[in-house]
């Protein structure tokens, strides 16, 4: 793993949370995006080498909606940048970690992503992320 790529924070409303985080981080939101396959709208901020991703549910049954129902707003996941997502998935699976999906999926910010199930990571949802190649 190369670095912490971003920290994902589940929020009820981007309209409320984006201005709050702009004040908190003293930087503007540089990008918003919808990821239809995940039923989520995102907003990104940069802090040095790391990004903060706010996630708002677009559908009642989405993963983020379920998270908000169970836990409320807060840290949802930590994402790590990797060189080769397939190799890292194989390595982690061999080490006994459970993948949420067997193949990477399209994610926000031109990334392909894979999540490790929190039951295998002490309750923390871990995301592997790699830049999508053209």
CATH of the domain at 102: 3.10.180.10
Query: pLDDT averaged over the chain?
Result: 95
DSSP letter (8 states) at residue 49: T
Domain that holds residue 47: 3-131
| pLDDT 10s digits, 91-111 | 999 999 999 999 999 999 999
DSSP code string of 79-128: EEE-S-HHHHHHHHHHTTPPBSSSS-EEETTTEEEEEE-GGGTTT--EEE
Q: Which residues contact 102 (CB under 8 A, 6 or more apart)?
A: none
Count of domains forming the chain: 1
Tokens found for residue 29: 């939101």
**What are 44-84's pLDDT values in tens digits?**
999 998 999 999 999 999 999 999 999 999 999 999 999 99
Task: For residue 128, count other CB atoms closer than 10 A to its CB.
Answer: 24
């Amino acid at each position: 793993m190369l670095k912490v790529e971003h920290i994902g924070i589940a929020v009820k409303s981007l309209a409320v949370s984006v201005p709050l985080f702009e004040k908190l981080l003293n930087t503007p939101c540089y990008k918003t995006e919808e990821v239809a396959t995940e039923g989520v709208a995102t907003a990104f901020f940069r802090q040095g080498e790391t990004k903060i991703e706010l996630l708002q549910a677009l559908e009642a049954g989405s993963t983020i909606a379920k998270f908000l129902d169970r836990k409320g707003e807060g840290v949802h996941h930590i994402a790590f940048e990797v060189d080769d997502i397939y190799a890292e998935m194989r390595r982690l699976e061999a080490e006994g970690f459970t993948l949420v999906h067997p193949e990477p999926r399209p994610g926000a910010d031109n990334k392909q992503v894979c999540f490790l199930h929190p039951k295998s990571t002490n309750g923390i949802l871990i995301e592997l992320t790699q830049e999508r190649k053209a």
